[in-house]
């Protein structure tokens, strides 16, 4: 196990801001990711609000510690040697309720720690449409903005008006308009520059009818259940869509459905998903990602790219 670089003095400073129950040392990241794999975080801090997040970031800067921000852990693959420094979870139960005062007509200000499903239910209740595509995407608003999440023809870039973030360089807060966020397929300026930590966003929705919104959400949910291996640990779709090809179709045509390395397997239900059959290591999953990439390239001459965010010790090729 790698030696922690977080010292006792730093933890004591954090304890002045964060309840001890929300500070976990040498915490297995397998407990906090949907893949159910990953080594230990030196310190795993569950932050309850934006103000506390900023204070913890100040302490991290004082002690010159690396920072990793995570939400619900649903698009993460943490390597087996874990993560050095502070891992800050910004998706606590405090974000389960959305302040109705943050709604202005069809506009709503949402903390980045709010889960997509929580926002979807709030919008349903308030008869606001435009987010149905994301109702079943696991994870938080921050993660959805970070990777410009999308499904069923919709994506976050289409509904965001502005994003407020804190810069790790100077610990100042800035706001970017939609066009400044550099949204593209499954990426944004926040993925390209991880010094920018998303705090909140303003979304623009449209008035809708509750019955129609609910019907659309149910339709998308049923499509997911019928086509995706939601009963197995994974990080959702493992690979990005190609510009002129369907990645899962190419993987399927390489006869890779069901192929295993260790405890990692290409899903037999959907070739675009790699799943943990129960005892996978992060290395198993990364080796399988590389194997699939190689086989697809050998057969079709195209490079497929992972959609999952890989973090921690040792690098993916």
Of the candidates 30, 112, 234, 237, the residue annotated as catalytic is 237
- In this prediction, residue 296 carries a pLDDT of 98
User: Residues 31, 233: contact at Cβ < 8 Å?
Assistant: no
Does residue 272 contact residue 248 with C-beta atoms inside 8 Å? Answer: yes
Dump pLDDT digits (tens) for 128-184.
999 999 999 989 999 999 999 999 999 999 999 999 999 999 999 999 999 999 999
Distance separating the N- and C-terminal Cα atoms of the chain: 23
- Asked about 186 being catalytic, the answer comes back as yes
Q: What is the pLDDT of residue 200?
A: 94
Could you say which of 30, 186, 188, 267 is catalytic?
A: 186
Cα torsion angle, 75, 81, 84, 88, sign:
positive
Phi/psi at 87 (5° precision): -105, 120
Confidence of residue 264 (pLDDT cuts 50, 70, 90): very high
Q: Which domains are seen in the chain, by residue range?
A: 8-90 (3.30.43.10), 94-225 (3.30.465.10), 229-311 (3.90.78.10)
pLDDT at 315: 47
pTM for the complete prediction? 0.92
Residue 314: the pLDDT is 58
Which pLDDT belongs to residue 102? 81
Q: Does residue 307 carry a catalytic annotation? A: yes
């Amino acid at each position: 196990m790698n030696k922690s670089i977080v010292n006792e003095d730093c933890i004591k400073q954090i304890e002045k801001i964060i309840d001890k129950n929300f500070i976990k040392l040498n915490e297995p990241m397998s407990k906090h990711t949907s893949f159910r794999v990953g080594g230990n975080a030196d310190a795993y801090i569950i932050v309850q609000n934006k103000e506390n997040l900023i204070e913890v970031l100040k302490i991290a800067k004082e002690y010159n510690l690396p920072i990793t921000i995570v939400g619900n852990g649903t698009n993460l693959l943490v390597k087996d040697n874990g993560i050095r420094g502070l891992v800050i979870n910004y998706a606590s139960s405090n974000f389960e309720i959305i302040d109705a005062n943050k709604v202005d007509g069809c506009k709503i200000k949402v903390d980045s720690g709010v889960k997509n499903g929580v926002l979807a239910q709030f919008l349903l209740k308030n008869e606001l449409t435009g987010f149905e595509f994301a109702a079943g995407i696991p994870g938080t608003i921050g993660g959805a903005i970070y990777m410009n999440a999308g499904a069923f023809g919709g994506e976050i870039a289409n509904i965001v008006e502005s994003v407020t973030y804190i810069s790790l360089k100077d610990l100042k807060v800035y706001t970017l308009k939609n066009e400044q966020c550099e949204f593209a397929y499954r990426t944004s300026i926040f993925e390209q520059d991880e010094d920018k930590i998303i705090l909140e966003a303003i979304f623009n929705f449209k008035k809708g009818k509750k019955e129609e919104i609910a019907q659309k959400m149910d339709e998308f949910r049923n499509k997911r259940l019928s086509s995706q291996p939601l009963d197995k640990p994974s990080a959702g779709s493992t690979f990005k869509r190609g510009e002129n090809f369907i990645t899962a179709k190419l993987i399927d045509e390489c006869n890779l459905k069901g192929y295993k390395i260790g405890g990692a397997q290409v899903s037999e239900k959907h070739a675009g998903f790699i799943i943990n059959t129960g005892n996978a290591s992060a290395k198993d999953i990364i080796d399988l990602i590389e194997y699939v990439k190689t086989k697809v390239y050998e057969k079709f001459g195209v490079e497929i790219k992972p959609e999952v965010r890989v973090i921690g010790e040792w690098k993916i090729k």
